[in-house]
């Protein structure tokens, strides 16, 4: 990539540290479409096209885990035509992109509930998960029909069903019963479109994640924007509620 005045050359090797796990709230598709006089569904379609670029950037930059917030448990309350359009877009993405993602070593996972999805779509997601389960270049978790509070409720129910005594319940026990049981907590959570909300996303796992908020709408969040987020993360001093060791 050639260097320009507006976009300096990307030098990922110059970063002092990289996040192991990046989670993204892909926000702003509807506003992106509205600015262009397009239907909201076209914004979602553009956002899905952009996802391909960001996944490739993750692989290029050496990120090992990526979680994307694609559809929340609350999104069922959106207009019926928009929800149906999102389902069709997801199915189309799996049909068009799956083989290439598989060949690039991407492992697909799902967090949330698949039971509410149309049968054909659910089967395609499950097939993609099964076929890519041994890939390890990038673990891509799709949060679809997912909610952070619902996840915690499901974890509590599972703990109760297993009969674990209350005195034995620790943070580690709860973590093992989350949808993300064998995935490290996100180091960096990115939210596009400038909104300052968690939106019920990875409430438990994101307790000490670094946040990066950008006003850029998701369809325009490109490789360079992603690199900027990594640069900012590299500058952060993660303390996990403690103080820097140089202080008394």
135 is catalytic: no
- Taking the C-alpha atoms of residue 147 and residue 77, their distance in angstroms, rounded to an integer, is 14
Q: Residue 7's pLDDT is what? A: 54
- The per-residue pLDDT for 6 is 54
Helices (DSSP H) in the chain: which residue ranges? 29-35, 40-61, 80-103, 119-131, 148-161, 171-176, 223-235
pLDDT in the model for residue 112: 96
Tell me, what's the pLDDT at 240? 72
pLDDT at 8: 53
Can you tell me the distance from the alpha carbon of 201 to that of 87, in angstroms, rounded to the nearest whole number?
Answer: 20
In CATH, which superfamily holds the domain spanning 16-147+187-234? Decaprenyl diphosphate synthase-like (3.40.1180.10)
Residue 243 confidence (pLDDT): 63
Is residue 27 part of the annotated active site? The answer reads: yes
Residues 45, 139, 210, CA angle at the centre, nearest 5°?
85
User: Over the chain (248 residues), what is each successive 10-residue block's mean pLDDT?
Assistant: 50 82 96 96 93 93 96 92 87 87 94 92 94 96 96 98 98 98 97 96 97 98 95 87 58
DSSP character string of 181-214: TTSPPPSEEEE-TT----TTSSTTTTTT-EEEE-
Q: Give the whole-angstrom CA distance, residue 170 versus residue 90.
A: 37
Predicted structure pTM score: 0.90
User: Domain residue spans in the chain?
Assistant: 16-147+187-234
Cα–Cα nearest to 121, from 85, 83, 82, 91: 91
Q: Residue 141 forms beta bridges with which residues?
A: 67, 109
Active-site residue (options: 6, 20, 27, 182): 27
Q: Which of 20, 29, 50, 75 is catalytic?
A: 75
Q: Token digits for 114?
A: 């698949």
For Cα atoms 186, 188, 192, give the angle at the middle one, nearest 5 degrees: 120
């Amino acid at each position: 990539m050639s260097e320009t005045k507006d976009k300096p050359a990307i030098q990922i090797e110059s970063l002092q540290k990289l996040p192991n796990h990046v989670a993204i709230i892909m926000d702003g598709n509807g506003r992106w479409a509205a600015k262009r006089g397009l239907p909201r569904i076209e914004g979602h379609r553009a956002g899905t096209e952009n996802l391909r670029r960001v996944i490739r950037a993750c692989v290029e930059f050496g990120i090992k885990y990526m979680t994307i917030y694609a559809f929340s448990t609350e999104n069922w309350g959106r207009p019926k035509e928009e929800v149906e359009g999102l389902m069709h877009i997801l199915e189309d993405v799996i049909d068009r992109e799956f083989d290439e993602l598989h060949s690039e070593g991407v492992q697909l996972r799902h967090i949330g509930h698949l039971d509410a999805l149309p049968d054909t779509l659910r089967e395609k997601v499950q097939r993609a998960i099964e076929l890519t389960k041994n890939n390890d270049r990038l673990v891509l978790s799709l949060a679809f029909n997912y909610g952070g509070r619902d996840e915690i409720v499901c974890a509590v129910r599972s703990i109760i069903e297993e009969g674990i005594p209350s005195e034995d319940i620790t943070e580690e026990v709860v973590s093992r019963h989350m949808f993300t049981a064998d995935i490290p907590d996100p180091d960096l959570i990115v939210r596009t479109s400038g909104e300052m909300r968690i939106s019920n996303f990875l409430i438990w796992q994101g307790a000490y994640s670094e946040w990066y908020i950008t006003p850029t709408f998701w369809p325009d969040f490109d490789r360079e924007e992603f690199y900027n987020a990594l640069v900012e993360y590299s500058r952060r001093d993660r303390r996990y509620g403690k103080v820097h060791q140089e202080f008394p």
